[in-house]
Chains A and B, each alone.
Chain A
Amino acid sequence: MNINLTMIGQAIAFFIFVVFCMKYVWPPIMAALQERQKKIADGLAASDRAARDLELAQEKSAQELREAKQQAAALIEQANKRANQIVEASKDDARREGEKLIEQAKAEIEQERNQARDALRAEVAAFAVSGAEKILETSVDASKHNEMLEKLAAEL
């Protein structure tokens, strides 16, 4: 149990070790620990923020979906209306066209009937004259009897 120089040697070693620990061991480890703490805190904050952002985005997307649905409904309604309009318009057109065609046809028929009637009338007049000639065996003076013939033709 001798007290000797060992004590001082140990004290010197102790001093050197503590200084080394203080300069080269403690600060980097503490810095790493604190930095990690900060990172974790930041990460938690970021995840909170992300959750909030997600909620907002979901709300927004729901809102937009609703608006899109409304727009689509409006468009469909408009399209239906327009289609009806077009159908109505085309119906009118068709009707007008048909009527026009009928009118035209009627006019043509009338015209042809008049033509036929005129021709027939002329033919009947000639036929009557020739018939009358045969009956009378004489020629009928056309100029004398023209007035009468024309009256006759008008009666036919």
Chain B
Amino acid sequence: MAGSASEYIKHHLQNLTYGELPAGYERADGTVIEQATWTLAHNAQEASDMGFWALHVDSLGWSVALGLIFLIIFRMAAKRATSDQPGGLQNFVEVMVEFVDNSVKETFHGKNKVIAPLALTIFCWVFMMNLMDLIPVDFLPQLFHLMGADYMKVVPTTDVNITLGMSLSVFALIIYYSLKVKGVGGFVGELTLHPFSSDNLILKIILIPVNLLLEGVSLIAKPISLALRLFGNLYAGELIFILIALLPLWAQWALSVPWAIFHILVITLQAFIFMMLTIVYLSMAHEDSH
């Protein structure tokens, strides 16, 4: 039981990976491929041997599909948006838009056309990706197993690539707006002349490495913490669902239902935190007065 249980868990935590295996590689079933081939990995070892140039087909597929669902629904509402009496869909979309708009206005006081739609996309998209966590852990993997896929991880936010992809995009925006608003000199100054500064020029120069270290770490920490917070929460939640799924059938609901109900809070909260922190970081990038 112990072996099969750990295999079950590992199987559930393995992404469906598409990548290139080098020539002469011995595959899981013992066959040796003669030349480099692009293929789906058959086990975790193969997936990790594919290195950087591999794709998690399941994470990316689900994430793009969910993003498209979000955009299609909101685009439909936007197309039919009327200032007269709104319908049900428009009401819902307007609630979301106003909620995000208020969150942005409370935190960010400058003028920027990107931040509000960015925040809306982040919130809805991350929420939907998190929501996949509430689908019982074996439903979709089993379904895809019947269709021939060995692995299927349906919650994109339990893949650190997905969260890093988003947080690094946000990081790029932070850098971009920092440079745009403060200029190269201003941004470099912010990184090197604070928090320790002195009127004495020599002392000032001596303090530059210290400041650069401190500010650099806090700058780099932003995208990393953003990504790992979301990933960690969802990964842990998913892991607990998997552990609960190991219990005998009659006991599962007693644990999975309360955990799922609690998880609704986590899902929403993590999506909100990701959005809020993005807004905060970007509004910090816009502020000149350091």
Contact across chains for B71 and A17 when beta carbons are under 8 A apart:
yes
Contact across chains for B67 and A13 when beta carbons are under 8 A apart:
yes
Contact across chains for A6 and B162 when beta carbons are under 8 A apart:
yes
Taking a contact as CB atoms closer than 8 A, the residue among B19, B121, B164 that contacts A17 in the complex is B121
Q: Which residues of B contact A17 (CB under 8 A)?
A: 67, 70-71, 121, 125
Q: Which residues of B contact A26 (CB under 8 A)?
A: 78, 97, 116-117, 120
**CB closest chain-A residue, reference B172:** A11
Taking a contact as CB atoms closer than 8 A, the residue among B55, B63, B84, B90 that contacts A4 in the complex is B55
CB-contacts of B48-68 with A (<8 A): 48, 50-56, 59-60, 63-64, 67
Contact across chains for A35 and B83 when beta carbons are under 8 A apart:
yes
Contact across chains for B78 and A18 when beta carbons are under 8 A apart:
no
Contact across chains for A32 and B83 when beta carbons are under 8 A apart:
yes
Q: Which residues of A contact B84 (CB under 8 A)?
A: 36
Q: How far is the CA of A9 from the CA of B116 in the complex (A)?
A: 23
CB-contacts of B13-33 with A (<8 A): 15, 17, 19
CB-contacts of B138-169 with A (<8 A): 156, 159-162, 164-166, 168-169
> Does A136 touch B at the CB level, under 8 Å?
no
Interface SS of chain A? helix
Taking a contact as CB atoms closer than 8 A, the residue among A9, A14, A35 that contacts B55 in the complex is A9
Contact across chains for B55 and A6 when beta carbons are under 8 A apart:
yes
Q: Which residues of B contact A25 (CB under 8 A)?
A: 71, 74-75, 78, 117, 120
Q: Which residues of B contact A4 (CB under 8 A)?
A: 17, 19, 50-56, 161
**CB closest chain-B residue, reference A5:** B55
Contact across chains for A29 and B94 when beta carbons are under 8 A apart:
yes
> Does A28 touch B at the CB level, under 8 Å?
yes
Q: How far is the CA of A4 from the CA of B162 in the complex (A)?
A: 10
> Does A2 touch B at the CB level, under 8 Å?
yes
Q: Number of A interface residues, CB 8 Å?
A: 33
Tell whether A24 pairs with B75 under 8 Å between CB atoms, given A4-B55, A10-B166, A30-B101. Answer: yes
Q: Which residues of B contact A18 (CB under 8 A)?
A: 114, 117-118, 121
> Does B290 touch A at the CB level, under 8 Å?
no
Q: How far is the CA of A18 from the CA of B59 in the complex (A)?
A: 19
Q: How far is the CA of A31 from the CA of B80 in the complex (A)?
A: 12
> Does A21 touch B at the CB level, under 8 Å?
yes
**CB closest chain-B residue, reference A13:** B64
> Does B93 touch A at the CB level, under 8 Å?
yes
> Does A33 touch B at the CB level, under 8 Å?
yes
Tell whether A2 pairs with B166 under 8 Å between CB atoms, given A9-B60, A17-B67, A24-B75. Answer: no
> Does A39 touch B at the CB level, under 8 Å?
yes
> Does A22 touch B at the CB level, under 8 Å?
yes
Contact across chains for A6 and B120 when beta carbons are under 8 A apart:
no
Contact across chains for A28 and B161 when beta carbons are under 8 A apart:
no
Contact across chains for A2 and B54 when beta carbons are under 8 A apart:
yes
Contact across chains for A21 and B74 when beta carbons are under 8 A apart:
yes
Tell whether A32 pairs with B81 under 8 Å between CB atoms, given A4-B56, A26-B116. Answer: yes
7 A-B pairs within 8 Å (CB atoms) are namely A3-B52, A4-B19, A5-B52, A9-B55, A10-B156, A10-B166, A18-B121
Interface residues of B (CB under 8 A from A): 15, 17, 19, 47-48, 50-56, 59-60, 63-64, 67, 70-71, 74-75, 77-79, 81-84, 86, 90, 93-94, 97-98, 101, 113-114, 116-118, 120-121, 125, 156, 159-162, 164-166, 168-169
